[in-house]
Amino acid sequence: MIIRISDDALARALGADELAAAFASKGHEVHRTSSWGMHWLEPLVEIAGMGFGPATLDDVDAILDGTSPKAIGEIVEHPFIARQQRLTFIRAGRTRPTSLEDYERTDGWTGLQRARRIGGERIVEEVIQSGLRGRGGAGFPAGIKWKTVAGTPGAQKYIVCNADEGDSGTFADRMVMEGDPYALIEGMAIAGEAVGATQGYIYVRSEYPDAIRKLNEALRLCAGIIAPFRCEVRVGAGAYVCGEETSLLNSLEGKRGEVRAKPPLPAIEGLFGRPTVVNNVLTLAAVPHILAEGGAARYEALGMARSKGTMPIQLAGNIRHGGLFETAFGITLSELVYDIGGGTDSGRPVKAVQVGGPLGAYIHPDEFDIAFDYEAYTAADALIGHGGITVFDDTADMGAMARFAMEFCAAESCGKCTPCRIGSVRGVEILDRIRAGGREADSVEVLPVMHNAPKTGRLPEQEVALLTDLCETMKFGSLCALGGFTPYPVMSALKNWPEDFMPGREGAVRKVLDRNDA
């Protein structure tokens, strides 16, 4: 009997290795596959398409004799899987990560083969036609970036994969690299064909040892298939700011990871001063499907408005059914949080959802009808970012969460620009003064003020106005998204939950915000 168990890092952390050894000790053939993405059911055991989870060593005998109460039925028919539209994660749960045989059997390399037949100009045209936008945050059209690099003279051009997945609540990049590394490599090779690049680098954060190991193994096995394109893994040192493309390029060059001023854009002067495509994992992993016969038209037909194709959405935080859910753009937060995610794991009411990582806006349940669409989120002063969704129940202190955003920015700033480097420190100080002045000190714990914070004679309402001005300066004056996006969680928390900043005086906060909006 063949037993299929994921060797995804999350499944392994929950005991999948021990579980696999237990089944093997009973004489069964065990295949270690990629994860289906139903993380609340890991370790998930699959036998002839039927699933059992979350499984423990005590469940082995019951699973084998068909009496386990943890049976979930046929995995592909499970509601969490059945209602998805999987393209980037089409192989999730179905293949062994570094098996060339499994990859080729599931239409692997067909996109690269066709790309080589049609040539660079046609490749770029089809990527533009598909509507594929960068899945790393900004949502810039991938085909336009490729067209710029293709049209820029250069003796050497590069393809750089930004795999520095540092946002809290995001794990889709990790799942691709650990579960379907050939899809990423094929996407990079196609990008190389499109722009005339023969060298690629995958920049992975050091916290992903399983991904690093599998990528290196996959690159060794497929080197002959992707030649003359060459690709190497480079490991970062964990700096959040190196998720910003120019900081990443500096790090790749052996320099300090700090932001470069733009222009010049990396597409013109990127790695080692050469024209460079910088895309993230999800963007590049979507490319093989698009380059397959008719793939661009199929991809473009999904989604809404200018947000085309599918988005792997990561459900995390206080949510009952956490995991990866890939679907076309246009789905609402209400569907994602309640219908698919099952509400909070604590059973308490949802208070807020943060979309787009630690620098994304906090969205109030009153706005859960917003469509998952780049322009719709921009209009709502929010970000889709990398597609991470973190759920909070009604015990969350949104004033503390706003403070965390500023503190996070202060800790992770590269120091290159003043609005980010100094503005984040001043932001923590202002938030501490607002919270200390708007509550009874003996009834609510006040977080410690940062060292050497200045004392002022301003009223809390005046501090709110100052915070608003500071956020405007950071938003429009910072060199990169770290300082530029930090105001999103701060101002959204202040706007939607003023009672968590100044209990009993939320009306005063709203007056200040309304005056600034006017």
Predicted local confidence at residue 393, as pLDDT: 97
DSSP 371: B
C-alpha–C-alpha distance, residues 368 and 27, integer Å: 50
C-alpha–C-alpha distance, residues 38 and 382, integer Å: 27
Q: Is the peptide bond before 228 cis (omega within 30 degrees of 0)?
A: yes
Which residue ranges in the chain fall short of pLDDT 50? Answer: 439-453
Q: Give pTM, 2 decimals.
A: 0.92
Predicted local confidence at residue 248, as pLDDT: 95
- CATH 3.40.30.10 occupies which residues in the chain? 2-82
H helices of 325-422, where? 333-334, 374-379, 398-412, 418-421
C-alpha–C-alpha distance, residues 427 and 409, integer Å: 10
Q: Convert the pLDDT of each residue in 269-316 to its tens digit.
A: 999 999 999 999 999 999 999 999 999 999 999 998 889 999 999 999
Helix (H), strand (E) at residue 249: helix 245-252
Predicted local confidence at residue 518, as pLDDT: 58
C-alpha–C-alpha distance, residues 422 and 417, integer Å: 8
- CATH 3.10.20.600 occupies which residues in the chain? 304-393
Angstrom CA distances, 193 to 21, 110, 120, 227, 319, stand at 43, 14, 6, 11, 42
| DSSP string for residues in 178-194 | HH-HHHHHHHHHHHHHH
- CATH 3.40.50.11540 occupies which residues in the chain? 100-301
> Packing angle between helix 181-195 and helix 172-179, nearest 10 degrees?
100
- CATH 1.20.1440.230 occupies which residues in the chain? 398-517
Work out the angle at residue 509's Cα, subtended by the Cα atoms of residues 365 and 484, and round it to the nearest 5 degrees: 70
Tell whether domain 2-82 is in CATH 3.40.30.10: yes
Q: Convert the pLDDT of each residue in 378-434 to its tens digit.
A: 999 999 989 999 999 999 999 999 999 999 999 999 999 999 999 999 999 999 998
Task: Give the CATH architecture of domain 100-301.
Answer: 3-Layer(aba) Sandwich (3.40)
What contacts 406, CB < 8 A, 6 or more positions away?
424, 425, 427, 428, 431, 486, 490
Task: Give the CATH architecture of domain 398-517.
Answer: Up-down Bundle (1.20)
C-alpha–C-alpha distance, residues 42 and 14, integer Å: 7
Predicted local confidence at residue 513, as pLDDT: 75
CATH of 304-393, one of 3.30.360.10, 3.30.70.380, 3.90.1300.10, 3.10.20.600: 3.10.20.600
Task: Quickly count helices (H) and strands (E) in the chain.
Answer: 23, 16
Work out the angle at residue 36's Cα, subtended by the Cα atoms of residues 339 and 244, and round it to the nearest 5 degrees: 85
